[in-house]
Structure 1
Amino acid sequence: MPLIPSPLLARPRAVVGDGADAAVAAHYGDPLREQRMLTEGLAVVDLSHRDVLTIGGQDRLRWLHSMTTQQLADLSPNTSRESLVLSPKGHIEHALHLVDDGTQTWITVEPGTGVSLLDWLTSMRFMLRVEPLLRTQEYAVLGEPISGQTSAADPTGWLAWVDPWPQLIGDTAAYGPVEHPANGRRWRELIVPRRQLEEAVGDRPLAGMWAAEALRVAAWRPRLGFESDHRTIAHEVDWLRTAVHLHKGCYRGQETIARVHNLGRPPRRLAFLHLDGSGHVLPARGAAVLAGDRQVGHLTSVARHFEDGPVALALLKRTTPTDALLSADGISAAQSVIVAP
């Protein structure tokens, strides 16, 4: 299903995004100012290109619990969870932002992935009382920081998914530091009727995806399709901390989760890079990361942060020394370890 262009692209100074974010704005004229407004809790981000699904039926939570990585069977209404769908070999296929309203479970996923997720869910129904539906035509998503006075439930009655990152949720493990740079980060996604998208934004300023992505990169927060590829396992990008319960019932890909956690280390590791900002050009996402003249990984996300300057996330070979001098597209990069080798 093609992405639905956002009506908010008609706002003054909106510049259309690209790639996975082509249906929403990259920025509204001043991406660094938009970042500041987000950190101050003043702005909202158009995420209406994310796909929205609902799961109805009495067996919905037990069913989702049996197929994905997080403990969901006893999920209370209005409690947010993140869960992954893995391949039989344990590679990440979908990342679910999930909240149940007591009647049905709402899930938002990366743009353009909803149809494939729905097809898989439908094939796994068997005789259970579940009803998966794709609702992207009817509902849209907005992202916003949560202030100290803002609850997970929106006063308008719109449902909200609250991002758990970087907390450790349930019986899990951290592959990155416990003293995480994103500690204290509070972010949520509002799920609103698409016809009320303008109303939900109201008179608040809009921030584009460049601003949201820069803050995500600075928080070391993995994103499906960016920090993941066809062979990514959760350990490599520190995704166990929010999305994987280590001692729950069997699910597809669990053997890989358990084996790597108990017996080994992941073959690659996520790292945060401070890029040399003396030039005006950023390296491209996907660019090779070199240690000397040897390729040791690739850039997964690149952004310009309003305080830290040019920054990136990169997947590196596990054996890459933590003090290695790195570069990408000829631009030098200083490494901060996320997943330890």
Structure 2
Amino acid sequence: MADDSSETLLNSMTNTMNPYELLGIIHNPATDTLTRNSPNPITNSNDDPDTKDIELNPKNKTWIRIFRPSGSQHNHEQLLPLIIYFHGGGFILCNANSTIFHNFSKSMANQLSAIILSVEYRLAPENRLPAAYEDAVESLVWVQNQALDAINGEPWLRNYGDFSKCFIMGCSAGGNIAYNSCLGASELDLEPIKICGVILNQPYFGGVERSKSELRLVNDKCVPLVVNDLMWELGLPVGVNRDHVYCNPFVDENLETKLRFIRRCLVTCSNEDPLVDRDIQFVKMLEGKGVKVMSWIEEFGFHGMAHSDRMKAQELLKVVKDFILSED
């Protein structure tokens, strides 16, 4: 908890940092839109025989990029688990075809021997939360519809996917979306698909009260606190603060009734990530609600490490694979 003196120190440490410049964005208040000038290299799926894009909702311009293991690594006689994946970017940046997330999803498909469905959801502030949650739930229903349509369903899922072994996964803001999509779908009947686990890699949560790790890593190179605050300001509904339930999961008074699809959960975090204290607290909260949680804390890692460090990615995917294989 931060007292007045620590907040004063915090302000003095961060007042020289411009989060808009750090993110490469310009906010247009009149239209509540962003001009995004930050580099966002993208990868086209057309040249990769093991990747394809499927339209999800033309009105919202959402779609799903599907990855299957490369031919040499795929046992065609064995159905593969499905991982519905949500990328990071603080709710305001990046896409499913961003090269950094394309490459990560492709690595997941090969190393986990799984079908990856990377969801393109609407970004804020043009579409503030809960728009991304709505798109996420829609993607779950889309997968269900493919399972129900044995004739016209997506052939990659029909031919290679095991609908009884579905996992919901997200990184950073995508972890927040993965979690909230499960809460939002709690009243739906998703049969015949079965959600066997939820995988949250450095999930993005917050709150008005500063955590010790946020203060310790106030000028973190990946997620300095001024950037963290701005992303929440642009992502949350207008007029609410960081103690809104979309940001702060600990204020949800009706959580017990929404955990139907979160009976098993993997949460990964890092000691050098400003979010680490909240993620550890989140694990304890889920355990207190009866959720079977597997946690992995990387001692020297940083936020987003799996997308910029190949060795860190391999370590993470080994943990994810163990979680998937131990689901029985």
TM-score range, shorter chain: under 0.3
Structure with more of its chain in strand, by fraction: 1
Whichever structure has more helix as a proportion of its residues is 2
With a CA cutoff of 8 Å and minimum separation of 6, indicate the structure with the bigger relative contact order: 1
TM-score (norm 1): 0.26
